[in-house]
Structure 1
Amino acid sequence: MLSMKVMSNSSEKEERCNSRHITWFMKSCFPTSHHITTPTTITIIKPSSHVPTTLSSLPNDIVLDFLSRVPSSSLPSISLVCSLWSRLLISPDFIHLRRLRYLLHHTATAITATQYGFLFATLLNNSWNSSKFFLSTCNAISLDDVYNILSHARVVSISHWVYVVGRNAMLRCDTWTSSVTLCRAMIFPRKKFAASAVAGKIYVAGGGSRSTAVEEYDPVSDTWVVVTHAPRRRYGCIGASVDGVFYIIGGLRIGSEQNELSRAASGAEAHAAYASSMDLFDIEGRVWLRSRVVPGGGCVVAACAAAGRVYALTSHAVELSFWSFNARRKCSGRGGGAFGEWCRIKSPPLPALVRVDTRLRFSCVGMGEKVVLIQVGGCGGEVRGSKEGYVLVYDCTTGEWDRGADLPEAFRRAAYVGVEC
């Protein structure tokens, strides 16, 4: 009896326990108002078919805009990102945008050859700063060839690149990386010819007795092509460019024949001395323009372009004169088909001991709104101020000459060019 009672109590207790568990389970399945929570909204994101925009997919004008804002110290690494950016950095549009943002500096650069490559000296803030440029190991050119190339070369700058255009070879110097690479040579060998850059391309003329061809070099494709033939064969001429026009200035006459363009010119201009005349080639229109000779005759010993004008230093029997030619296309001359006018301006204040003879040599470099005149020959004695390397700077705005820093001794008889970088 006792055992049955115990079992009955145990069974009843177990039943009550199970009932409580079931009741708790039922309550958990049907929660009260205290247990009801706010439902959470789940947003399902569907995969988009739109491809994210990358730098390579941006239009070139947008890429040019942000590249033009990069500091100069970062441009060397930027040029190594891809071939497209490298091409954009040398485009005329990039130079134009940098110029608008006042991020370009005009300098006069002297280049000479050394046993290691090229040595550059840059005139900035009336001080010469030197830097070395080494030949790339992949170049098939020796250091001995560097001296030969530079001895009869013309130097042209495009953006931060300086091209040394020699008779049978051409080298490109990168002012950002201080490296030198070999480029394709001209089609026709030349010596003492005219060379200048227009719209990102190099143009050469003169310096050859067998051809009057004017060649054009494209830095992107590294190719030379003949674009026209010059009306005169010149030797020892000087090249300059303003407002899309290639100027071939001065020089000696080669041969006695004249082509049709020269014979079609007026009698006074056709028989004028080459030493005081210049030919003008419109790059975009691919036509030759006519220009007047330098008034007063004389021989053009140095010339360059600066501030929308062509400046020429001429030598007479006993004196030097300095002239300015208005080369802006919107200006028109009074007659003869010329669109500019010559104007004699203040002559450079050279030392009294400078000899005005056939040994007189100068180099003229355009540097923004200034003209840098460097005396490279024709000096007498060792009197201070009369030796080679004497530098004068002409301000195109004020019309005044100032004394510049003397060229370092290592750069005498060097090649000179204006660089904007």
Structure 2
Amino acid sequence: MFIYSPFDAADHKLQIFMSESCNSRHFSWLMKSCFPNPNHKSLIITPQHLNPTLTLSSLPDDLLLECLSRVPSSSLPSLSLVCRRWFYLILSPSFILLRRQLRLSHPSLFAFSPSLSGVFSATLSFPSPRPAATWDLSLCLPINTASLHSLPRLVSIGPRIYIIGRNSMLRYNAWTHHVTAKSPMLFPRKKFAAAVVSNKIYVAGGGGSRAASAVEEYDPETDTWRVVGYSQRMRYGCIGAAVDGVFYVIGGLKIGGASGNGAGGIEAHVYASSMDLYDVEARVWLRSRAVPGGGCVVAACAVAGYVYVLTSHVVELSFWRFDARRKCGGGGDDSSEGFGEWCKMKSPPMPTQIRLDGTVRFCCVGVGDNKVILVQVVGCIDDLLRRSGRSQRGFKDGLVLVYDSGGGEWSRGPDLPEVIRRAACVSVEC
């Protein structure tokens, strides 16, 4: 019995269609139609058909920033020389933000050393410095600014490093290697405290009585300084740090005074082992804090909500951590519960050849996000060893020690280059 299906009828019609239409002639025409005819003039693209204005520079700023932000760090100095527009785009906050989002910027240690023949600088990349790593000598300028011959203070905002001298200031861009002269402080200072709070620079201490008491604020956007407050205690040789909107003025000596009597000696000791806290937003001074155990503060820095302080007790060093994170929201709160407590950390392993006197100088810098504290020893070590008659074998001026705040251990970093002496250091994005 034969059963007729509509599907069989459809197959029969398809076979008839294929036999009538899909012969070799029709199939050849079908294949040729899929490829363009090279002899057809409308399909030939010549240079005259291209828009000459479609270049990289013709892109809007947002698209151009997306392109420039992906360039390797080694090419940034060359890009800044292409044109004025590219130069200012690379200096813009948007460019810095894009580099951070793409994780193309990383923390580095910048060392600055002035001399009579000019200034020298070097950078050391983090977060994993090894003894085999080397410093990159990045700057050598014949600058004869007298105020930079004495050791200046360094602060950084992103890739910009501000070199603050007694009566002059320079801004160095670590990405473009461009140096610009900026407005000096209102009062000449020497061995003062400096730190950055909310992208503004604050200085205090140093110099005469007027300079030591005035707290100055620098706005990088307007290149202007102004006095925003006055210190309770006038310090000389102090160190600056900043955490959670508070400017810390740490250590130093009293200006105008210390007499030889017992009261004067006690007061000088209090200055050397304490820190004053200035609330930048509220424009008020909070209760001062003192380092437990006393001693003389020789170095300090801030990292991820903590202030690290290195103190000297003539024959030994102590390393302390102060929890500077606000517990009660700040806003001028001066209660003891507004901040954390002091915690003693592992002391740095100093070589036995070093005597803790004025010959040796210390510099403490926070690098990275709560990972590394770097303490650098700079001083006339060769002169010290020569006077003491001890051997210089196995010891080199410019010792660098790295403290891992996560593991709580010290390690040896690469020594400073030979040309870097009496260096001031700061952490910078590169």
Q: What amino acid maps onto 1:407 in structure 2?
A: L
Q: Is the 8 A contact 1:307 1:396 kept in 2?
A: no
1:237 aligns with 2:246: no
Report the Cα offset of residue 299 of structure 1: 0.4
Q: What amino acid maps onto 1:171 in structure 2?
A: L
Q: How does 1:215-294 map to 2 (within 5 A)?
A: 215-255=216-256, 273-294=270-291
Q: What amino acid maps onto 1:283 in structure 2?
A: V
Counterpart CA distance in 2 for 1:370 and 1:282 is: 26
Equivalence for 2:15: none
Equivalence for 2:47: none
Q: How does 1:71-90 map to 2 (within 5 A)?
A: 71-73=72-74, 75-76=76-77, 77=79, 86=88, 89=91
Counterpart CA distance in 1 for 2:108 and 2:273 is: 28
Report the Cα offset of residue 373 of structure 1: 1.0
Report the Cα offset of residue 131 of structure 1: 3.0
Equivalence for 1:359: 359
Report the Cα offset of residue 335 of structure 1: 6.1
1:401 aligns with 2:413: no
1:318 aligns with 2:315: yes
Residue by residue over 1:322-372, the C-alpha shift from the partner in whole angstroms, topping out at 9 and shown as x without a partner, is 001112224799963551211100000111221123333211111112111
Q: Is the 8 A contact 1:391 1:404 kept in 2?
A: yes
Q: What amino acid maps onto 2:158 in structure 1?
A: S
What is the count of residue pairs matched by the alignment? 346
Report the Cα offset of residue 245 of structure 1: 1.9
Report the Cα offset of residue 393 of structure 1: 0.4
Say if 1:111 and 1:317 are closer, same or farther in 2 by CA, change over 3 A: closer
Counterpart CA distance in 1 for 2:108 and 2:80 is: 22
Equivalence for 2:376: 374
Residue by residue over 1:180-202, the C-alpha shift from the partner in whole angstroms, topping out at 9 and shown as x without a partner, is 22111100010100011222221
- SS, match of residue 407 in structure 2: coil
1:213 aligns with 2:214: yes
- SS, match of residue 417 in structure 1: strand
Q: What amino acid maps onto 1:187 in structure 2?
A: L
Equivalence for 1:128: 134
Equivalence for 1:411: 420
Equivalence for 1:307: 304
Say if 1:406 and 1:272 are closer, same or farther in 2 by CA, change over 3 A: closer
Q: What amino acid maps onto 1:389 in structure 2?
A: G
Q: What amino acid maps onto 1:156 in structure 2?
A: V
- SS, match of residue 109 in structure 1: strand
1:55 aligns with 2:54: no
Q: Name the TM-score, length of structure 2 as normaliser.
A: 0.71
Residue by residue over 1:294-339, the C-alpha shift from the partner in whole angstroms, topping out at 9 and shown as x without a partner, is 0000000011112321111100132110001112224799963551
Counterpart CA distance in 2 for 1:375 and 1:234 is: 23
Q: What amino acid maps onto 1:194 in structure 2?
A: A
Aligned residues: CA RMSD: 3.3
Say if 1:94 and 1:205 are closer, same or farther in 2 by CA, change over 3 A: farther
- SS, match of residue 291 in structure 2: coil
Counterpart CA distance in 1 for 2:149 and 2:241 is: 19
Say if 1:87 and 1:305 are closer, same or farther in 2 by CA, change over 3 A: farther
Counterpart CA distance in 2 for 1:341 and 1:328 is: 10
Q: What amino acid maps onto 1:252 in structure 2?
A: L
Structure 2 residues not aligned, in runs of 5+:
1-57, 259-265, 386-390
Q: Is the 8 A contact 1:198 1:244 kept in 2?
A: yes
Counterpart CA distance in 1 for 2:92 and 2:269 is: 39
Q: What amino acid maps onto 1:129 in structure 2?
A: W
Counterpart CA distance in 2 for 1:112 and 1:402 is: 24
Q: How does 1:150-229 map to 2 (within 5 A)?
A: 150-211=149-210, 212-229=213-230
Deviates more, 1:191-200 or 1:93-102: 93-102
Say if 1:335 and 1:192 are closer, same or farther in 2 by CA, change over 3 A: same
Q: Is the 8 A contact 1:118 1:132 kept in 2?
A: no
Q: Name the TM-score, length of structure 1 as normaliser.
A: 0.72
Structure 1 residues not aligned, in runs of 5+:
1-52, 136-141, 258-268
Q: Is the 8 A contact 1:203 1:216 kept in 2?
A: yes
Q: How does 1:72-111 map to 2 (within 5 A)?
A: 72-73=73-74, 75-76=76-77, 77=79, 86=88, 89=91, 91=93, 95=96, 98-111=99-112
Report the Cα offset of residue 409 of structure 1: 1.5
Report the Cα offset of residue 398 of structure 1: 0.6
Q: Is the 8 A contact 1:321 1:347 kept in 2?
A: yes
Counterpart CA distance in 2 for 1:83 and 1:189 is: 36
Q: Is the 8 A contact 1:80 1:86 kept in 2?
A: no
Q: What amino acid maps onto 2:182 in structure 1?
A: C
Q: Is the 8 A contact 1:134 1:178 kept in 2?
A: no
Counterpart CA distance in 1 for 2:292 and 2:397 is: 29
Residue by residue over 1:362-412, the C-alpha shift from the partner in whole angstroms, topping out at 9 and shown as x without a partner, is 111111121111111374425345442111100011110001111112112
Counterpart CA distance in 2 for 1:270 and 1:79 is: 54
Counterpart CA distance in 1 for 2:274 and 2:156 is: 24
1:112 aligns with 2:121: no
Q: Is the 8 A contact 1:153 1:164 kept in 2?
A: yes
Q: Is the 8 A contact 1:196 1:239 kept in 2?
A: yes
1:296 aligns with 2:301: no
Say if 1:334 and 1:113 are closer, same or farther in 2 by CA, change over 3 A: closer
Q: Is the 8 A contact 1:307 1:370 kept in 2?
A: no
Say if 1:190 and 1:337 are closer, same or farther in 2 by CA, change over 3 A: farther
